[in-house]
Amino acid sequence: MSEKETVRTRIAPSPTGLPHIGNFRTIVFNWLFARHHGGQFVVRIEDTDVARRVEGAVEAMLEGLRWLGLDWDEGPIVGGPYGPYLQSQRLPIYQEQAERLIAQGNAYYCFCTPERLTAMREEQQRQKQPPGYDRICRTLSKEEVDERRAQGLVPVIRFRVPLEGSTSFHDLIHGDITFPNAALDDFVIIKSDGYPTYHLAHMVDDHLMRITHVMRADEWISSTPRHILLYQALGWEPPKFAHVPQILGPDRAKLSKRHGATSVIAYKELGYLPEAMLNYLSLLGWAYDASTEIMSRDELVRYFSIEKINKTGAIFDITKLDWMNGHYIRRLSVSDLTSRLMPYLETAGLTTEKDRSYVEQIVPLIQERIRKLSEVGELTDFFFAATLEYDSKLLVPKGLDAAAALVALRAARERLVPLAEWNREALESAIRPLAEALAIKTGQLFGVLRVASTGKTAAPPLFETMEVLGRERVMARIDAAEKKLEQAVQSA
């Protein structure tokens, strides 16, 4: 890359489905590369596959970009000098280039019906021949073309692939790659409905939008010779290509829904932080060095390079993503984390913004334990409950019976009632020595109190939790637990 060249990368999603992890990992790489070189990042919507278009897919893509903080210099909403940025609004441009290719002898009209093409493929399968168009329309004369059009037949336009020789290109990740032209068929560039195929539309747009680097999934490697031939036929300089290996599941199969959520928006809804997701996606197939895992946005931009992208597929490890998300959660201020948790608490019906100050007291108690924001409900529901529902058996720790647990709970209550201060220090000073006096283990005493106060055997630190719950709520819950244990003793 010359020093004078301004790097321009693009992402060109097709709205045929919701954006998944693989899409966004490639998007992240494009964005990082553009930002690293002080270039431009372009968003272009390839919406020419009308039959498979999914409602809301474009909006989901843009939402994902905004969530991850991946700003774009040109594209939908922001505009730019090379618009429009929706391919469906650029159809005359593609038609013009296709007709130019016909005039040059690099393309031709094909009138083969879908039925004929289906029969052709079935025959090729029976003959165990490689699939591909048999080029029957390649030699049609102008008169034959006009005759078929007069009959009302609507053609597609196919590119005339050279029958001999080979086509080569250099890939910035995989190196030099060559395909024999005999392995390529005469592919369609304009469909019968007038819409272009990906092969023509994307390369015309990349040229006109002055894209310098095309970074995309490695499933497009086998199609790249077609694109090189199109560039050559139009006399245009192709961009530099970098084909990124796919993302794999833990079983090393291509990542799919059976491995869990694949939509980026789904991860947002599950409570992953955008800064954690950006960090994790950046390390799926790229690494700064052998050990660095936590990297800020600025560090990722500073150090990213195509040369360090792996040639093999990256494993999507949800356990590592959870760890990384937890790491970022623990780095947040209490106020920031509270703001991010409030929507989840409100959705769960536990609290509203008016109780934010109470939530801010709770947050420090769970910040070390929570891995994703969506877990806040199950970790904190007892803080908001009017009454607790739990099995009385939980009040009886291992090594005690119901009668002993009842004695311990009553003794604890007697220590708590006269307390002048209701804070962690006062609570612990009153309760901790009680275990020795009762000749039971500290864990057993704390276990009875924990269940009585929270309804759970696992909860945040006991005395900090009791402090936040407050004297009135804790004492009412201890009284309710005492009745549960009394009934258990009577029925024993």
Catalytic residues: 257
- How many whole angstroms separate alpha carbon 32 and alpha carbon 306? 10
* Residue written as token pair 């060249």: 5
Assigned token pair, 392: 């009385």
d(CA 225, CA 227): 5
**Distance (Å, rounded) from C-alpha 484 to C-alpha 492?**
12
Q: Which tokens in the block code for residue 39?
A: 């270039």
Rg (CA), the chain: 32
Give the whole-angstrom CA distance, residue 398 versus residue 404: 11
CA 368 to chain centre: 24
Q: Terminal CA-to-CA distance of the chain, rounded, Å?
A: 82
Burial letters 403-422, b for 16+ CB under 10 A, else e: ebbbbbbebbbeebeeeeeb
- Helices 224-234, 91-104: axis angle to 10 degrees equals 70
List Cα–Cα distances, 30 to 23, 35, 371, in angstroms.
Answer: 11, 9, 28
Burial of 438: CB neighbours in 10 Å, binned 0-12, 13-18, 19+: middle
Distance of CA 185 to the CA centre of its chain: 35
> Per this entry, what is the length of the chain?
492
